[in-house]
Amino acid sequence: MRGILWAILGAVILSTAAFAQVIDLSTIPLPFGQAELTTIAEGELGAFHAVVTSDFAAVPADGESEAMIEVLLTDSAGKPVAGRMLALLLAEGSGSAMPDDPVTGDEGRATFTYRAGRVAVTNRFDLMDVATGKCLEVVLPTSLTAEVTVELVDPVEFNRMVTSAMSRPDIFELEVIAQPEALPADEVSCSRLTARLTYKDGRPAAGFPVKFSLASGYGAIEQEETVTDKDGYIGAFYRVSDRVGTVIIEARELTTGKVASVEITVVEAGPAKLKLWLEDHAGAMFEERAVMPADGASQMTVVVQVLSLVDTPIAGAKVQFKLASDLGRLEVVDAVSDGNGMVRALFTAGAFTGTERITAYLVSEPLS
């Protein structure tokens, strides 16, 4: 029932602002808007009396709105005081205060402009008589607001909306996965996309159209299948671009609009890892240590795999080798890594006993 009520509200609400979005407060009546001068401070400034007004009672915290702050300075007899230089200093809050006419004129008035920051906090200023250093505290609030519009409809039409919402079943469940969920930004690598559509009771929903699309990010979707198979599955491929970041891919069932999404992380392309192991003639693999006779003839294959940050093979990378003790000889078979990211070399044992350490290394190409 809660979902139905939300659907009804969605039907009657025509437009809504984002939560905490700043809107034009000048259209809102006091005390929030700009309508007439509002006294924000009054008190003694040394030997004088000051009245501070603003054309905003609360300034919108939008980083743009400006409030005109006016100071009226009078003496003990209530007469305007001219020729006094005043300063308005922001002691606490956000935004900035700028002098317009900081020296009081014949009418005893000085003016300043406050430009709001982007945080709704209360600003506290010190109004200073520059000659004497005497100060008066001035407080100016800022504000945020949000807006929503509701359409009031005929009761008969409202009841029709309720009936329509209650009779529209949400019949599907839709899931989508990507394998792998991380790719290098090499414009070549792909991720297999698989979506599954089922009815609410878990039965496969066969023969329904599902379309994959990019909701966010870069790359391309390659889709040949158009409807779900007998088990409710449908697939496609995502081919990565040359931009790093997060890609969001949506799968949408076209008859009901049911949507599911999956994220793919795209990282910087290029060699990032080397895996090294030895293989004997029987195909056994040795990742850390192997034993060979020092007969001057026995051989093992040295295999290096070049991988990206997300463990995808890197082709075309040049790997070099080094023997620490020269207790044998090394013959490079492949000049650069193949499609599986692999480079191979042949190690032939020498005739002297001892421990040999084989190092594989890759040096990045200089930038052109």
Please write the tens of the pLDDT for every residue from 77-94: 999 999 999 999 999 988
Cβ neighbours of residue 366 under 8 Å, at least 6 residues apart?
Answer: none
Structure-block tokens of residue 269: 């392309």
Q: What is the CATH number of domain 172-267?
A: 2.60.40.10
Return the CATH superfamily for domain 273-361.
Immunoglobulins (2.60.40.10)
Please write the tens of the pLDDT for every residue from 131-176: 999 999 999 998 887 777 777 878 887 777 665 544 444 788 999 9
Provide the pLDDT for residue 138.
Answer: 95
| β-pairing verdict for 358-361 and 320-323 | antiparallel
Contact 176, 194 (CB under 8 A): yes
- Mean pLDDT estimate for the chain: 84
pLDDT at 14 over 70: no
Confidence band, pLDDT 50/70/90 cuts, at residue 129: very high
Between the CA of residue 155 and those of 9, 117, 217, 256, what are the distances in Å?
14, 45, 45, 28
Between the CA of residue 345 and those of 20, 266, 311, 329, 363, what are the distances in Å?
64, 32, 22, 10, 18
pLDDT at 198 over 90: yes
Residue range(s) of every CATH 2.60.40.10 domain in the chain: 25-143, 172-267, 273-361
The model carries a pTM of 0.45
Provide the pLDDT for residue 61.
Answer: 83
pLDDT at 3 over 70: no
Contact 349, 296 (CB under 8 A): yes
Contact 88, 130 (CB under 8 A): no
Structure-block tokens of residue 279: 């293989």
Q: Which residue has the tokens 């006091």?
A: 30
Cα–chain-centroid distance for residue 291?
52
Among 267, 250, 326, which residue's Cα sits nearest to residue 294?
Answer: 326
Please write the tens of the pLDDT for every residue from 38-76: 999 999 999 999 999 999 988 888 888 999 999 999 999
Residue type for 318, please?
K
Q: What is the CATH number of domain 25-143?
A: 2.60.40.10
Please write the tens of the pLDDT for every residue from 178-196: 999 999 988 989 999 999 9
